[in-house]
Amino acid sequence: MVRVIGFLVGLGFVFVLGFSLITGAINYVSNPPAETVEHEFHRHAHAPEGGFASDGPFGRFDRQQLQRGFQVFKEVCAACHSLQYVAFRNLTDLGFTEPEVDAIADQWQIQVPTVDPETGEETTRNAVAADRFPHVYPNETAGRAANNNAYPPDLSLITKAREGGAAYTYSLLTGYQDPPEDLPEANRPGTGLYYNPYFANLNLAMPPPLTADGQVTYADGTEATIDQMAEDVTAFLIWTAEPKLEARKSTGWAVLIFLVFATVLAWLAYQNVWRDQKH
């Protein structure tokens, strides 16, 4: 009985699926899906030459580079983008000393909202090391209003929150260009939009942030080319997204070495226990 019902149910599903398949196939042949313009012109993200210092199982952050990247973030990105999950105190990971971090927090361009203890009115104060980076805009609506209705995303997790990761961030920053000649009119950037083949729909609202070599002046004397700045700020954003990356990898090696040792021992014990038994 079960098998008869099962047989009929099976035939039913197969029939409906076959019907869907034939309908789909006819539709596919009579009306083949055209490649979209976005797909045709979109380019895949690529990492800078040589990759990032933090790549790979042995990758470590280059502290000097993170500090340069922080400088680019501070002088270029921070005007519009927040970094809400990162605290100033975390900057000690970049090799800044505590007094330096206190100074960075105290002089940060955006103040932290607070309540006046005397009057109870809303006001602002200078940031301290324990604060997270303050929001640029009080809320999303304000952010949209100030940016032609395109809300600048928070950058704390950006290198983990986009397909392609850090390579995408780097490619996007260096990928602004004039639209190609053969780009259809409908896909050309409108007012307030900029062509960038690494962006999913080819046109994005963020103006090119890195426009000229020497836009920031690095304290360590590194030449601030657009490519260098893009790479540095991306390295910084890898750190903001995954601050425990170095601890994770070094713990991982210790755990792996232990596990391999323990597993070899377990195998020997297993062979030992079974050596009188044929199986």
Partner 1 sequence: MSFPWAEQYKPTNPFMRWMDDRLPLPRLVYNAVGKGYPVPRNLNYFWNFGVLAGLFLVIQIVTGIVLAMHYAANSSIAFASVEHIMRDVNSGWLMRYVHANGASFFFIVVYIHIFRGLYYGSYKPPREMVWLLGLVIFLLMMATAFMGYVLPWGQMSYWGAQVITGLFEAIPLVGTTIKEWLLGGFAPDNAALNRFFSLHYLLPFVIAGVIILHIWALHLPGSSNPTGVDVKGPQDTVPFHPYYTAKDGFGVGVILILFAIMVFFLPNYLGHADNYIEANPLSTPAHIVPEWYFWPFYAILRAFTVDFILPAKLWGVVAMFGSILLLFFLPWLDKSPVRSGKYRPQFKIWFWVLVVDVLILGWCGGAPAEEPYVMISQLASMYYFAHFLIILPIISRTERPRPMPNSITEAVLGTDESAAQPAAAS
Partner 2 sequence: MATVDTNDQAPGTEPEEDGVRRRDFLNIAAVSVAGVGGAVVLLPLINQMSPSADVLALSSIDVDLSAIEAGQAIKTTWRKQPLFVRHLTADEIAEADAVSLSELRDPQTLAERTAEGHKEWLITLAVCTHLGCIPLGAAQGENRGEYGGYFCPCHGSHYDTAARIRKGPAPTNLVVPEYEFTSDTTVTIG
Contacts with partner 2, residue ranges (CB under 8 A):
87, 89, 129-130, 258-259, 261-262, 265-266, 268-269, 272-273, 276-278
Contact 63, 70 (CB under 8 A): no
Question: Among residues 31 and 107, whose Cβ is nearest to partner 1?
Answer: 31
User: Nearest Cα to 175, choosing from 153, 198, 192?
Assistant: 198
User: Nearest Cα to 43, choosing from 239, 207, 176?
Assistant: 176
Separation between Cα atoms, residue 168 and residue 164, nearest integer Å = 5
Give the pair of three-digit tokens for residue 35.
């490649």
User: Which of partner 2, partner 1, none has residue 129 at its interface (CB below 5 to 8 Å by kind)?
Assistant: partner 2
Question: Among residues 87 and 157, whose Cβ is nearest to partner 2?
Answer: 87
What minimum distance in Å lies between the beta carbon of 277 and partner 2? Answer: 6
Length of the chain: 279
The pair phi, psi for residue 24, each rounded to 5°, is -65, -40
Question: Among residues 55 and 102, whose Cβ is nearest to partner 2?
Answer: 102
3-state secondary structure of 195: strand
Separation between Cα atoms, residue 173 and residue 5, nearest integer Å = 61
The pair phi, psi for residue 132, each rounded to 5°, is -80, 160
User: Which of partner 2, partner 1, none has residue 163 at its interface (CB below 5 to 8 Å by kind)?
Assistant: partner 1
Separation between Cα atoms, residue 138 and residue 122, nearest integer Å = 13
What minimum distance in Å lies between the beta carbon of 158 and partner 1? Answer: 8
What minimum distance in Å lies between the beta carbon of 243 and partner 2? Answer: 10
Give the residues lining the site for partner 1 (CB under 8 A).
2-3, 6-7, 9-11, 13-14, 16-21, 23-25, 28, 33, 57, 85-86, 90, 153, 156-157, 160-163, 165, 200, 241, 243-244, 247-249, 251-253, 255-256, 259-260, 262-263, 266-267, 269-270, 272-279
Question: Among residues 163 and 220, whose Cβ is nearest to partner 1?
Answer: 163
